[in-house]
Structure formats: C-alpha cells, structure tokens
Amino acid sequence: MRTRRRITFTATAAAVTLGGLTAVTGQANPADSAQPDAAEPAQPQLSAALDPGGESFVEDFDAGIDEGFWYVNDGYNNGGHQNCQFNAANATTADGILTLTLDDTAYGDRDYSCGAIQTNKRYSYGTYETRMKVGAASGTNSSLFSYVGPYHGQPHMEIDFEVLGKDPTVVELNTHVDGSNRGPWPVDIGYDSSEQWVDFAYVWEQHRIRYFIDGELVHTLTDPADIPTHNQFVFTMLWGTDTLSGWMGPFEYPGHPITTEYEYVAFTRAGEDCQFAGSVACDIDVQPPTSSFVDEFETLDTTRWGVSDGWNNGARQNCTWDADQVAVSDGVLNLTYVEQPTGDRDYACAEVQHKSKLGYGTYEVRMKGVPGSGVMSTFFTWVGATSSEPSEAIDIAKLLGVNTGQVKVNTWRNDQPLRPTLVDLSAPSDEVFHDYGMVWTADQLDFYVDGELSVSIINADRIPDRATNMFLNIWASETTPEMGDFVPPDGPLTMQVDRVAYTAPGDACQFAGSIACS
C-alpha cells in the first residue's frame, strides 16, 4: 500500500462549488461553524507562487476517511441546479476504495442524496492524481477537481476533471480563473470509464497546466488567462441535476444507487520526488514555482508590469502619470517626462510597477537616467503601511538629474530615510547605461554599482523586512530640495531601461554578469 505523508489540520470552511459552473458561496461549515475558515480571515491569500500550500500526500483510503484531513460534505447543496443534498452517509470506504453515492434518499429539501469530500488544506503547484470509476447515468457529474473562491475570501479559481454520466467515454477538462470559465475541453478517454478504472492527473505549474489520462499527455494550457494563481482545496464529488440537461443530459434515476469509486487521491508538490510507482510525477519534470525573472523588454509584459495612469503622488509631483509615456522599442523600456497638460498638472510622467510582491533576493537593473534640475529617474521598492505594519521602501538607484555623477541609495520606514548614501559613478548616469543592484537578506542589505559592492547595511533596524513591489519611474518636483530647483526642460526627457531582473534566494543566477552569480 502507498505511504501517506500527512499533517493534521484544523477543519476549514466547506468550499462550495461544482466543476464547470460558477461557484455558489456561503453554504455549510465543517466542525467549527462559528468560525468558518477562521485561520485566514478576509485578507487576501498570497499567490501560489509565494505560498507552497499543503504537503505532498497519497490517500489510499485503507483506513477510512480521515476527518482530520478530509471534510465530508453534509447538509447542503450548491444551488437550484443541483437535485441532491450532500449527505455524509453517501461518502463511504471499504477495502481501500472511496465510494460516493447518489441515491433516492430524500435529504433536506431535495429528493436525492449525493456525496463529496474535500481536503481541509489548500494546495499549490504540483501533480494531482486519482484512479476512479464513474457512475453511468444521464444528468450526473463525477469529478476530481481543485477549487477556492469567494466563500474563502478569494477569487474563483478551479481546475477540473469531470466525467458526465451521459457519456463516460469522455472527460471534460476545465479551469476557472478569476470567475471566468475557460473551457471546457472535452477529451476522449478511449473506453467506458464506468466499466474500468481510469487514471486522471493534472500537473499545475506556474506557467502551464498539463492533463494526463492513463499516463498519456492529452492537453496542455499555457495561456496565462487559463491558469489559476491561488492555492485550492482538493475535491472528489458526485452530484446530479434536473435543470442542466443541455450540458449533462436529462436526469434519469436508474432505480438503484449511482456510484463513483476512487482507489486513491494523491498530490505531489512541484519539485518533490514521486511517491508511488505509476505516478505521473515519476516520469515528468514538474518545475517548482519561482518568482525569479529577467525582463529584457522585447515587449512590455503587462502580466508582469502595471502601468500607472491618470494620477500622481501628491503636491510635490508636478506631473501626472500617463500610460502614453511608457513605451518599448528595440529591447529598451522608455519612460518619458514631457511638458504636456495631463490631469491637473502641466507635465506628464511615467511609471511601471511589478504586479506581484517580492521578498528577499537579488534585484538588478541596467538603466540610463536623464539630466535636469528637479527631475529624477528611479528604481526602487515600496510597500504601503497597514494597521499593524509600517510603510517600507528601498532606493536601489535614485538618479537625480541635478547630479548625474552619483547615484543615491537608501532605505525607508514610515517615510523616514534610514541610510541615505551617495555613490560616485564612473560616467554620468545620463550618458551611459549603468548596472545597479542590491542583495537583500534579513541580516544584510548590499548595494552594487556596475558589479562592485558600494554600500552595506548590517543594522537590522535599517533593513526593511516586508514583501514589496518593485517600481521604475521618472518624475519632477518644484518643492523637493534634494532634486534641485526645477528647471523646465527644453524637450522630452526619456529614462531608458535595458534590463530588470529578480533572483529569488537559492535560485541560480540568470545571466552573465549578474551579481547573483558571485
């Protein structure tokens, strides 16, 4: 028998969904109904790239249903489209097999009972597998899927294998991303899955999902719009409908219970060894998530970068962020400051920010600033204050147009500078590209210019410690002394960025000359 690798978890709120449909929220809770999902109240969950989620496991059901690991759905349904009520009595085990049953036992306000179980823990990137034999009855749906949604304070994210009882020779593959139904993608199984066991597996990675039937790859998704980004609960489910006949066929109760069986359910974290012979994870490379990247700006990747537009940072800024001042050409990101009435200001300026928060690691930019008193080009990190945490920022490269012979580095907390330092440059910042970077750990923050260590901070009180966003911008001020007296430029000023990179701790360096290589 397969070895389980388990942690005992506190029961969390029941995710209420059904594969292929928009989730219905706000149904029943597991054991602690007074505090549904109390461990993770209302604040957004980290993306799957930043939160590894639950550990790898193999569930072979030899010891029954472990209710410290699984929640057995009971006493609710997913809405008017579902003709059955989930009934704990309809999820049973015997001889190492989980059986979910749909029968004509009236329960709640429904004429039928059906079965489902779900993990109490959410899971992230990796390989999800089952061996199942489905019930053959029109109007029914047997599935393995993962889901999280608004009931948990998260956007609706879902990945599905669904076999409709009207034709058990076909499985429907699907994903939901931010509530958008991306499929389905029907695939022929090759035989009747109500008569013989079928192995289903999907491999969820940061940039793709691969679906397998009996160990053979049958479908691949690579469009970011198709790939969920949040950790999810794992479900097995059998249910029926009287109303969704166009999709699932007319419901026909055959006069005896309909059953779907599962021999095992398994999850193997990305990057970990496979756990049993025959697992899809034994034969393929499953990349663990990483937030490391190198952007050389062949295009502006709007899945990575947000463009500021139509606002400004307050009275000290004499310009308004304008998306039209952000452009990519010949492998260079161009951010422009120009005299052009925009919003309530006489000038337009430009900013991009990395959409995902990043933490400790190596940050690098190759950029060229602009000359001009009162104008500044910057590469920095910033995260805003919360009710319990301060705002924090790190100036990796602050290029003041009034002083192009130096770069300013600094750290900030609650808008107060902690370690401002000017570093000499070998050539003016507006005439040549320089490489600026930092290596950030909990104990030390090192700044680099052109590959050489320039400043080290070892005082923990001066080292930010919160996950943060990365920014590039150009702007001007008529009230900020360090920037000099503002002198209107003769024409547009364009800051140029050749490359931006982030290397997460422990990841290999990503390009020749990176300070992460040393």
Structure tokens at 390: 């301060």
Instruction: Determine, yes or no, domain membership for 38.
Output: no
Structure tokens at 42: 């209302």
Instruction: Determine, yes or no, domain membership for 46.
Output: no
pTM: 0.61
Over residues 483-505, the mean pLDDT reads: 97
Instruction: Determine, yes or no, domain membership for 143.
Output: yes
State how far the Cα of 335 lies from the Cα of 155, in Å rounded to an integer: 33
Instruction: Determine, yes or no, domain membership for 315.
Output: yes
In a shared domain, residues 243 and 327: no
Using the predicted structure, report yes or no on whether residue 31 has a pLDDT greater than 70.
no
* 157 and 48 Cβ atoms separated by less than 8 Å: no
Using the predicted structure, report yes or no on whether residue 213 has a pLDDT greater than 60.
yes
In a shared domain, residues 264 and 301: no
Instruction: Determine, yes or no, domain membership for 35.
Output: no
Picking from 283, 114, 130, the residue whose alpha carbon sits closest to that of residue 193 is 130
Q: 58-76, pLDDT tens digit by residue?
A: 999 999 999 999 999 999 9
- Provide the number of structural domains found in the chain: 2
Over residues 193-219, the mean pLDDT reads: 96
* pLDDT value, residue 2: 35
Picking from 12, 19, 393, 325, the residue whose alpha carbon sits closest to that of residue 171 is 19
Instruction: Determine, yes or no, domain membership for 383.
Output: yes
Nearest-5° Cα angle at 445, 372 to 411: 45
Using the predicted structure, report yes or no on whether residue 47 has a pLDDT greater than 70.
no
Instruction: Choose the final residue of a domain: 282, 301, 321.
Output: 282
Picking from 278, 343, 286, 281, the residue whose alpha carbon sits closest to that of residue 309 is 343
Of 14 and 466, which is predicted with more confidence? 466
* pLDDT value, residue 475: 98
* pLDDT value, residue 35: 23
Which residue in 40, 59, 129, 162 is the catalytic one? Answer: 162
pLDDT band at 386; cut points 50, 70, 90? confident
pLDDT-wise least confident of 29-38, 129-138, 334-343, 473-482: 29-38
* pLDDT value, residue 382: 96
DSSP symbols for 213-247: ETTEEEEEE--GGGS--S-BEEEEEEEE-SS-HHH
In a shared domain, residues 358 and 236: no
Is residue 216 among the annotated active site residues? no
In a shared domain, residues 254 and 113: yes
| CATH number of residue 157's parent domain | 2.60.120.200
pLDDT band at 186; cut points 50, 70, 90? very high
In a shared domain, residues 205 and 338: no
Nearest-5° Cα angle at 66, 62 to 67: 160
In a shared domain, residues 193 and 303: no
Instruction: Choose the final residue of a domain: 260, 282, 304.
Output: 282
Domain that includes residue 434, residue range = 293-517
Using the predicted structure, report yes or no on whether residue 229 has a pLDDT greater than 80.
yes
* pLDDT value, residue 357: 83
The torsion region of residue 355 among left (phi > 0), alpha (psi -120 to 50) and beta comes to: alpha
Structure tokens at 439: 């290596």
Over residues 490-501, the mean pLDDT reads: 98
Over residues 316-337, the mean pLDDT reads: 98
In a shared domain, residues 125 and 193: yes
**CB 401: neighbour CB atoms within 10 A?**
26
In a shared domain, residues 63 and 158: yes
Instruction: Determine, yes or no, domain membership for 299.
Output: yes
Q: 116-139, pLDDT tens digit by residue?
A: 999 999 999 999 999 999 999 999
Using the predicted structure, report yes or no on whether residue 40 has a pLDDT greater than 70.
no
Using the predicted structure, report yes or no on whether residue 111 has a pLDDT greater than 50.
yes
In a shared domain, residues 210 and 345: no
State how far the Cα of 146 lies from the Cα of 157, in Å rounded to an integer: 8
Which residue in 129, 158, 261, 351 is the catalytic one? Answer: 158
pLDDT band at 49; cut points 50, 70, 90? low
Q: 137-163, pLDDT tens digit by residue?
A: 999 999 999 999 998 889 999 999 999
Using the predicted structure, report yes or no on whether residue 24 has a pLDDT greater than 70.
no
State how far the Cα of 482 lies from the Cα of 492, in Å rounded to an integer: 22
* pLDDT value, residue 286: 86
DSSP symbols for 412-468: EETTEES--EEEE-SS-TTTS-EEEEEEE-SS-EEEEETTEEEEEE--GGGS--S-B
In a shared domain, residues 269 and 241: yes
Instruction: Choose the final residue of a domain: 227, 251, 282.
Output: 282
pLDDT band at 335; cut points 50, 70, 90? very high
Of 453 and 206, which is predicted with more confidence? 453
Q: 421-434, pLDDT tens digit by residue?
A: 999 999 999 999 99
State how far the Cα of 233 lies from the Cα of 19, in Å rounded to an integer: 13
Using the predicted structure, report yes or no on whether residue 1 has a pLDDT greater than 60.
no
Strand pairing category for 112-119 and 70-72: antiparallel
* pLDDT value, residue 19: 37
Over residues 228-235, the mean pLDDT reads: 95
Instruction: Determine, yes or no, domain membership for 487.
Output: yes
User: How does the average pLDDT of the chain come out, rounded?
Assistant: 89
In a shared domain, residues 212 and 316: no
Which DSSP symbol is given to 110? B
Over residues 311-315, the mean pLDDT reads: 95
Using the predicted structure, report yes or no on whether residue 375 has a pLDDT greater than 80.
yes
Picking from 504, 20, 473, the residue whose alpha carbon sits closest to that of residue 237 is 20
In a shared domain, residues 241 and 93: yes
Using the predicted structure, report yes or no on whether residue 42 has a pLDDT greater than 70.
no
Give the percent of the chain with pLDDT over 70: 90
Is residue 263 among the annotated active site residues? no
